[in-house]
Amino acid sequence: MPPGHETEAVRGENPRAHVLRQARAKALGAELGKASGIVLGGDTVVSLEGRILGKPGDAREAEAMLEELMGRTHEVWSGLALVRSEGGRLLEGSLRSGASCSRVRFGHIPGASLRDYLAGDEWRDKAGAYGIQGWAGGFADLVEGSLDNVIGLPMELFARLLEEVLGAPGE
């Protein structure tokens, strides 16, 4: 289901609070129709020294983000929210959410490699202008945390939240 709209970070909002707010809004804003089941909302951002780097709007923004990340360690935050739906109605008390953080170190990217990357589409729709599971995996190293989190779906967190939501009221 389409997640609805995303909002910008609220002034002074930390990355953890941002991804939790976004994930909850996506899960609660899903167009359910008459569906029953579990709805997952998620959001991932890159944070450099507490500043959120979202998805670049164009290749210039992508280049600026990648240049800023080079030679530095940054955080990747993912927020997940799960709710249960029955007949298109969200079950009261079923919302469960959490956040996961990983640290990634970005190496130096040679100019020709960066130009080739920006000429393609892989940077589009990616927080921080990269996906570690693709091209950037050659330049980015997981320092701490879960690789699943950096990719955008922290499975350990998902499993815990799923267990919680299955035990929520309405079962």
Tokens of 17: 């609070």
Q: Could you read off the pLDDT of 124-158 as tens digits, one per residue? A: 999 999 999 998 899 999 999 999 999 989 999 99
User: Could you read off the pLDDT of 73-107 as tens digits, one per residue?
Assistant: 999 999 999 999 888 888 888 899 999 999 999 99
Third-level CATH fold of 15-166: Maf protein (3.90.950)
Query: In the chain, how long is the greatest CA-to-CA distance?
Result: 56
- 121 belongs to the catalytic site: no
**pLDDT 10s digits, 10-64:** 778 899 999 999 999 998 887 777 778 899 999 999 999 999 998 999 999 999 9
Hey, where are the domains in the chain? 15-166
Q: Is the pLDDT confidence value at 170 over 80?
A: no
Give a three-class secondary structure readout of 10-43: CCCCCHHHHHHHHHHHHHHCCCCCCCCEEEEEEE
Catalytic residue among 43, 121, 125, 148: 43
- The 3-state DSSP class for residue 131 equals coil
For residue 142, what are the contacts with CB-CB under 8 A and spacing of at least 6?
Answer: 102, 103, 104, 132, 150
pLDDT attached to residue 105 = 97
- pTM of the predicted structure, to 2 decimals: 0.89
Show the CA angle centred on residue 128, arms to residues 155 and 114, nearest 5°: 120
51-76 burial, b for 16+ CB within 10 Å, e for fewer?
ebbbbbeebeebbebbebbeeeebbb
How far apart are the C-alpha atoms of 93 and 165, rounded to whole Å? 9
Write the single-letter amino acid at 3. Answer: P
